[in-house]
Chains A and B, each alone.
Chain A
Amino acid sequence: MTLSRRDFMAAAGTGAVGALIGITWGATQTVDSVTQVDNPLTSYPNRDWEQVYHDIYAYDEVDWTVCHPNCTQSCALNFYMKDGVPIRAEQVYHNEEPSVGPSGYEDAGVSQHWNPRGCMKGLTVHRRTFEPTRIKYPMVRKGWSPDDPNPEGRGEDEFERVSWSEAIDLLAEKMANLEDTQHFHVFNAIKADGLFTRHGSARRLASIFGGCEWTEYDWYADLPPGHVMTTGYQTSDADASAWRQADYTIIQGKNLIHNKLADNHWFQESRERGGTIVGVYPDYSPTVQKCDRWLPIRPGSDPALPLGIAHVIIDEERYDEEFMRSYTSLPLLVREDDGKYLRAHDVFEDAEPPDHGIDGEHGHHVEGDWGEFVVLGEDGDLHRVSREEVGEETPVTPRLEDETEVTLTDGSAVSIRTDFARQKETILNDYSPSKVAEITTIPAEKLRQTAREFATAEKAQWFTGEGINHWFHGASECQRGIFLVQAMLGNIGERGCGYYNYSGQYKIELLDGYPTYVNPDGHSARGMYPGHALAFFGGERLDPHAIHGDYDRELELVAHEDSDEPVLPEGTESYTMKKPEILWTMNCNLLNQTKHQEHVIENFVKPPETANELLVVSDMHMTYSARHADIVFPVHSWLECEYPDITVGPENPFVQMDHGVMDPIYDTKQDGEIVARVAEKLDEKIPPEERNVNSYREYFAEFLAEDGDVRTYIQEAFDSGITTRDIDVEDLENGPERLQLKTYPRIPFYSQIHEDRPFYTKTGRMEFHKEEDRFLELNRDDIQHFESPEGTPYGRGKTWKEGGDETNELYEDGYRFHYNTPHPKYRTHSSWGMTDWNLIWSARDFGSTNADPEGTERLVDDFSFPQGDGETEDVPPLGEAFVEMHPNDAEDIGVKNGDYVKITGDRGDLVIRVLVSERQRPSDAGDIGQLTIWHGWWEQQFPDEDETSDVVGYNVATNIWLDPLLETDDVVHKPTFGDPNVSDIVDEDVSWHGAAFAQGYEEQVWAPTGVERDTLVKVEKYEEADWRPGDARKDELFQDYVSGSIQEGDS
């Protein structure tokens, strides 16, 4: 077995890739006489040799598992095994040979339209498994000791190999000695994969131990809070199979064809069925080639676009009044004096004010009592409307537009307007197509045409993604504006209609029995509030009403002590303010992927004052994060895992279970088993009276017991969730099943529109005017466009009316490029970053099988990976990072393809190769240009010439912004698990039975999304290329080629 693995590595591993170097390309000189064959076009005499290829193709057996990185898609794949080694992966089909593994998706009750799934990354999971970057055994940093953490040495010290029991003992000892268990933090980027036997187990440990958990949303800003503001719901995403029903699609800042590889076809198929696609991007995103029309937009001006569309719809009265009256806040009356929705008890003597006041109590499980609302009927009288009276239950036909004065019960008079009248006034005054053209640089007549077509379409959908969500106002105003358009047109609750994001692996709510596992017996880890994290990193007490993130790089940063009281928000118990003395990350490459990277490394990771005494990283690979760890736990690849695990995703209706197909090749363990062993050790070290629970071990007994079966945990969670209660975990071994939801395909707000259930807002309606104090304070109660706090040539943070004539001083200083870091397709974030074939392709013009010799030598040094005891492992150099830059801008600074440039931002600099690229936005197109670096490069893929900082990577120039709009606990929403509309109807053994609303902070739903990339940079030439890739397309012949006249030109 072992031998054959070595054979495999010699034959197919990365080590062989450099083999072409130095081998001559001359043909062999052997000459044999040519005989026997008559006409090879019609027959050939000896075909026995064809067996050669049958042998290459042959396999012993097929096993299957699921590839589920944070691309969010989760694809079952068959692995073809020879001598116990996977030689290739293939997609599964409906119960077909040669898919002898799972049943495919047929047993999940879907059609063959879902076939096939699994992209090029899935097809190299086995190469990734055998990669030299794998961590082969547990290690401890030599400079670290439990009493003297010496964090300055992180990232530089060598590692020492230790045994598993030693490594686990070190962590458990440290945990047992914590004065306050809340100083134990896990970061597992709650993703709806790895739920039970991977990072979900760490959450379970943090819950029973009394620790804290950081999540992806809070840290990485994937999710769209504008959805929560408008609908009270985390993210309104449909099954991908609903996409192709649309007659018209606007896709804004989302490179869907490359980031939803397996599901993209549903999107594209809408065109074959008569649909139109309009793309809105600053650059020629690869998705543009699929669009019928591309509206090139000034980066960061996105919130203005839906308002321009809304202008046309309102101005030309193309809206659906019935829908607006039934399902939106637009007919509700708003008081002009305080900006609050008029309540029934304001004007009706017999109406009772809500028990606990309109703001009620913050936190989870608040009763939905925010008073009754008021409309003006067609009869001109005031009528009360409760939050349950929506849809056909709306008691009267309310006026959409009115402006009048009403007498309150105390006898005073107050001016009121409908929500619609307010939005309409702003939009008609400030966002005409010509005004929006000024803001966005999109021609007014094309905006108007697009708006008319969109409004005319029977079914129209709108996509955004992280390209928008990570912009400061993209996360709020832009999304609210899109919802306003969709609500005015009634494009909600039907197949092919809606507003989607699909950003992040957040749809944990689809597995609604999950809390049974991660929050057992009422124990729940506290959330980590990113504002607090930033306080550690920023060394300042945060003013909750200010924008955070506008630091310059010289800022002296000091670490903070614990806060006695929350910076914000107030009154909720579900998050922590305790600093991480122990931080254990798993399932993520936190330090490579963090924005404002230099800041994080230099102010959090390395300074002793942070008191972050133990950084533990569980990883498959020697990532940037692992290199900075004190203790490194090596984990299995998906192919090696010993325990099955569950995954669900936002674009598809499947619940899937992965399991390994081969034995581990190194001394690795699965995340869950590592956690279980730590728990076991805690029982030894902590006396029973000091424990939070009777035994930590017993919560992980199935991992540890001889006859244990972790599927028990999965089944228990399934049994307590309404989406999974009829699913038998054993059935998942034969293939995916489908979640039990209201509809297939899943359609957001189907019940709201078809069954008149309230939205999860205070008003029970899609809510456009926001009455919460923070919105009012910041002048963001109604929907407007604001310029970015940094990424604009104009007045920073201002509306166009205020700031359109101003100039951003940073821009005047030469910072004339937006810094764009979109998700790559050959990697998922940083994973597969060193997998040979993926790297060759992701490096584009700078990726090659054997590269230039000089470049090769340098890169070999850079691509080495520390192993225990000072050993390193070299990897063949296959590719380098690059930045894409428009030819005009490249010419301005005198750089050619392949030269190095230095990119300077307010927060850090980097040196990187240039790929001259016509698809980028030049700085002379509407004043601002764009530089694009695909996200997820590894440190080794950057040159080491940069002396300005030890911190190297694409993220040194990105930023962490905190938007004060999001730093409030006033916003009401549906909790992750449970639907207040039906929480009393579901059986009592459903774990969320009786769930009420949430108000304020909730991990993965409502929090300041700590990471917005909105930054400006400048760029200058750094150095000539040491070698350049070939480029046959730049010679004169190319002009004939591209114009289609190459042969005419020749004749």
Chain B
Amino acid sequence: MPETYNPQLGREHSYPYEHREEERDWHWGMIININRCINCNTCSFACKSTWTSGKGEEYMWWMNVETEPYGGYPMGWDMRLLDDLEEGETIFEAAEDGEQAAGYIAQKEDWEYPALGDDQAHGEYPAGDVVESDLENDEYHDMWQFYLPRLCNHCKNPACLAACPRKAIYKREEDGIVLLDQERCRGYRKCVKSCPYHKPMYNPETGVSEKPVGCFPRIEEGNVPRCVSSCIGKTRLHGNINRGPDAGHPNGNTSAAAGRSPVNYLAKSDEKAALPLYPQFGTQPQVFYMPPYHVPPEFLTQMFTPNTNEKRNDWPGSTFEESIKIVQDRVRNPSHHTLGILQLFGATTRLIETYTVKEHRVKGWDRKGDKVVDIPFEEEMEIREGEMWTNQP
């Protein structure tokens, strides 16, 4: 089996297919700022109303928000898989003979309660005390919860793709979106079993499996996915995760900024502020989360780092737990540049390819090089001239 280098782990591991020699020019990627998420599930409803409102799809929430630590759709999905994996082992390395990836098929009752644990918190009621966090002094909430939006990661090492015996799942050349060919699929459910994020789902009406489509009809038109454009919490930014600092002007349009995309900056720059969910699975997921800064870093280390003792990748800090703390601080106290990028979240339906952050203003350009965001850091205060105006009419 070919080996592939996984930068999220900082090492090579096996994967059934050879990667292309060069990274794609353009790859679907997403940033989610968990701190802004309010669990309204508008993203979930947006996705469902767009893609899975048909027969046999009643239980399917391609996009869902779970309340950590009590939520889980399907129930207990991550706990179970984490328990089955040896430390430092990807699902590909842990696969049993004859299979491509370790996993399990969630049962019907596991899918039954998409809102299980919704809004619940974990910890002891602070009788006679308070709950507070103070990052400078390593203090975090000892009673906590946070909201974890979950969706298909359009992984660079997709387990669903690896596992499909019919090769009915593929990665699109132009944008990296992982699709499941509805005509070719025969419903073996190997993808359902192997995806550690449990996003391929079986449709008992049609007899074939389905998986999230990354809103490709929207991406093709230069718009962001529904879960991003619908996000009233402004938690999300979508774009070209592969566009690095050396990239030129989009579409050769010199009036647009050259250089990296805003999602690339948050996920891959030296000021990295967003991390992948369970990188230890080895699938190279392309949704990156800005971690909740009030939550104890031990838990987040398990969730957002390779969770090995030896730190091999390029994340900040000498240990993974330290990396988490540094990133938490970057999210709680963002630099001016990061704060500028945060203004791009939810500002436009258009897919932002490049951007600039100036002292008082943030701008963004789409893939054609057209300016699609031009936004001040502050709403400009307006005071109407004339004595008859009142703020309370």
Bind each other: yes
17 A-B pairs with C-beta separation under 8 A: A20-B58, A27-B207, A32-B166, A42-B17, A90-B226, A119-B232, A261-B232, A264-B38, A294-B143, A296-B125, A446-B132, A740-B384, A837-B45, A850-B59, A1030-B116, A1032-B80, A1044-B301
Q: Which residue of B lies closest to A91 (CB)?
A: B230
Contact in complex: A979, B349 (CB < 8 Å): no
Contact in complex: B383, A1029 (CB < 8 Å): no
**Distance (Å) between the CB of B138 and the closest chain A CB?**
15
Q: List B contacts of A241 (CB < 8 A).
A: 379
Contact in complex: B233, A265 (CB < 8 Å): yes
Q: Does B119 contact A (CB under 8 A)?
A: yes
Interface centre among A30, A96, A1030 (most CB of B within 10 A): A1030
Stretch of B182-190, B243-251, B258-266, B311-319 that contacts chain A = B182-190
A660 CA / B109 CA spacing, docked (Å): 40
Q: Does B108 contact A (CB under 8 A)?
A: yes
Contact in complex: B19, A49 (CB < 8 Å): no
The 8 Å CB contact of A89, one of B17, B49, B347, B383, is B49
Q: Does B205 contact A (CB under 8 A)?
A: yes
Q: Does A986 contact B (CB under 8 A)?
A: yes
Interface centre among B70, B122, B376 (most CB of A within 10 A): B70
Q: Besides the contacts A41-B158, A844-B116, what 8 more A-B pairs have beta carbons closer than 8 Å?
A: A12-B53, A286-B39, A296-B127, A751-B391, A847-B113, A1032-B75, A1044-B300, A1046-B82
Chain A contacts with B in 43-74, Cβ cutoff 8 A? 43-44, 46-47, 49-50, 52-54, 56-57
The digit string for A716-728, where 1 denotes a CB below 8 A from any CB of B, is 0000011100000
Indicate whether A845 sits within 8 Å of B110 (C-beta atoms), given known contacts A93-B349, A116-B231, A742-B389: no
A93 CA / B39 CA spacing, docked (Å): 22
Q: Does A271 contact B (CB under 8 A)?
A: yes
Q: Does A705 contact B (CB under 8 A)?
A: no
Q: Which residue of A lies closest to B377 (CB)?
A: A273
A284 CA / B375 CA spacing, docked (Å): 35
Q: Which residue of B lies closest to A265 (CB)?
A: B234
Indicate whether A848 sits within 8 Å of B113 (C-beta atoms), given known contacts A19-B205, A918-B120: yes
Contact in complex: A53, B217 (CB < 8 Å): yes
Q: List B contacts of A842 (CB < 8 A).
A: 115
The digit string for B26-53, where 1 denotes a CB below 8 A from any CB of A, is 0000000001101111101110111101
Q: Which residue of B lies closest to A98 (CB)?
A: B223
Q: Which residue of A lies closest to B233 (CB)?
A: A265
Chain A contacts with B in 253-269, Cβ cutoff 8 A? 257-258, 261-262, 264-265, 268-269
What are the 6 A-B residue pairs with the smallest beta carbon separation, nearest first? A1032-B76, A1044-B298, A40-B170, A44-B170, A37-B167, A925-B127
Contact in complex: A1047, B87 (CB < 8 Å): yes
A864 CA / B354 CA spacing, docked (Å): 54
A917 CA / B117 CA spacing, docked (Å): 9
Q: List B contacts of A851 (CB < 8 A).
A: 112
Q: Does B145 contact A (CB under 8 A)?
A: yes
Chain A contacts with B in 820-873, Cβ cutoff 8 A? 825-826, 837, 840-845, 847-851
Q: Which residue of A lies closest to B36 (CB)?
A: A268
Q: List A contacts of B387 (CB < 8 A).
A: 982, 985
Indicate whether A293 sits within 8 Å of B130 (C-beta atoms), given known contacts A113-B375, A1047-B307: yes
Q: List A contacts of B42 (CB < 8 A).
A: 118-120, 123, 261
Q: Does B339 contact A (CB under 8 A)?
A: yes
Q: List B contacts of A89 (CB < 8 A).
A: 49
A1047 CA / B303 CA spacing, docked (Å): 11
Contact in complex: A1048, B112 (CB < 8 Å): no
Size bracket, chain A contacts: 35 or more
A295 CA / B130 CA spacing, docked (Å): 5
Q: Does A977 contact B (CB under 8 A)?
A: yes
A364 CA / B99 CA spacing, docked (Å): 81
Q: Does B285 contact A (CB under 8 A)?
A: no
Contact in complex: B126, A296 (CB < 8 Å): yes
Q: List B contacts of A27 (CB < 8 A).
A: 186-189, 202, 207
Chain B contacts with A in 176-195, Cβ cutoff 8 A? 179, 181-184, 186-189
Contact in complex: A1031, B379 (CB < 8 Å): no
Contact in complex: B382, A744 (CB < 8 Å): yes
Chain A contacts with B in 617-638, Cβ cutoff 8 A? none
Q: List B contacts of A112 (CB < 8 A).
A: 347-348, 373-375
Contact in complex: B55, A16 (CB < 8 Å): yes
Q: List B contacts of A843 (CB < 8 A).
A: 115
Q: List A contacts of B72 (CB < 8 A).
A: 1032-1033
A209 CA / B318 CA spacing, docked (Å): 78
Q: List B contacts of A722 (CB < 8 A).
A: 388-390, 393
Contact in complex: A113, B347 (CB < 8 Å): yes
Chain A contacts with B in 239-290, Cβ cutoff 8 A? 241, 245, 257-258, 261-262, 264-265, 268-269, 271-274, 284, 286, 288-290
The 8 Å CB contact of B393, one of A47, A290, A292, A977, is A977
Contact in complex: A23, B205 (CB < 8 Å): yes
The digit string for A970-1000, where 1 denotes a CB below 8 A from any CB of B, is 0000100111011001110000100000000
For the residues of A in contact with B, the DSSP-based class is loop
Contact in complex: B54, A12 (CB < 8 Å): yes
Contact in complex: A286, B381 (CB < 8 Å): no
The 8 Å CB contact of A19, one of B19, B55, B208, is B55
The digit string for B342-356, where 1 denotes a CB below 8 A from any CB of A, is 110011111000000
Q: Does A948 contact B (CB under 8 A)?
A: no
Contact in complex: B392, A233 (CB < 8 Å): yes
Contact in complex: B115, A1041 (CB < 8 Å): no
Q: List A contacts of B234 (CB < 8 A).
A: 265, 269
Contact in complex: A25, B108 (CB < 8 Å): yes
Q: Which residue of B lies closest to A979 (CB)?
A: B390
A917 CA / B123 CA spacing, docked (Å): 10
Interface centre among A116, A257, A740, A979 (most CB of B within 10 A): A116
**Distance (Å) between the CB of A901 and the closest chain B CB?**
18
A1044 CA / B291 CA spacing, docked (Å): 15
Q: List A contacts of B375 (CB < 8 A).
A: 111-113
Q: List A contacts of B230 (CB < 8 A).
A: 90-91, 116, 118, 123
Contact in complex: B292, A289 (CB < 8 Å): yes
The digit string for A1028-1051, where 1 denotes a CB below 8 A from any CB of B, is 011111000110111111111011
The 8 Å CB contact of A512, one of B76, B145, B393, is B393
The 8 Å CB contact of B132, one of A49, A258, A292, A741, is A292
Contact in complex: B381, A745 (CB < 8 Å): yes
The 8 Å CB contact of A50, one of B127, B164, B216, B389, is B216
**Distance (Å) between the CB of B78 and the closest chain A CB?**
8
The digit string for A896-925, where 1 denotes a CB below 8 A from any CB of B, is 000000000000000000000111111011
Contact in complex: A1041, B217 (CB < 8 Å): no
**Distance (Å) between the CB of A228 and the closest chain B CB?**
12
Q: Does A765 contact B (CB under 8 A)?
A: no
Q: Does A301 contact B (CB under 8 A)?
A: no
Interface centre among A24, A25, A749 (most CB of B within 10 A): A25
A36 CA / B38 CA spacing, docked (Å): 46
Contact in complex: B87, A54 (CB < 8 Å): no
The digit string for B138-169, where 1 denotes a CB below 8 A from any CB of A, is 00010111110000000000100100111101
**Distance (Å) between the CB of B292 and the closest chain A CB?**
7
Q: Which residue of A lies closest to B297 (CB)?
A: A1044
Q: Does B121 contact A (CB under 8 A)?
A: yes
Q: Which residue of A lies closest to B161 (CB)?
A: A40
Contact in complex: B349, A974 (CB < 8 Å): no
The 8 Å CB contact of A113, one of B83, B379, B388, is B379
Q: List B contacts of A296 (CB < 8 A).
A: 125-127, 129-131
Q: Which residue of B lies closest to A977 (CB)?
A: B393
A845 CA / B117 CA spacing, docked (Å): 6
A245 CA / B40 CA spacing, docked (Å): 24
Q: Does A99 contact B (CB under 8 A)?
A: yes
Indicate whether A91 sits within 8 Å of B117 (C-beta atoms), given known contacts A120-B44, A1043-B299, A1044-B301: no
Q: List B contacts of A992 (CB < 8 A).
A: 393
Contact in complex: A442, B334 (CB < 8 Å): no
Q: List A contacts of B170 (CB < 8 A).
A: 37, 40-41, 43-44
Indicate whether A289 sits within 8 Å of B383 (C-beta atoms), given known contacts A117-B232, A847-B113, A918-B121: no
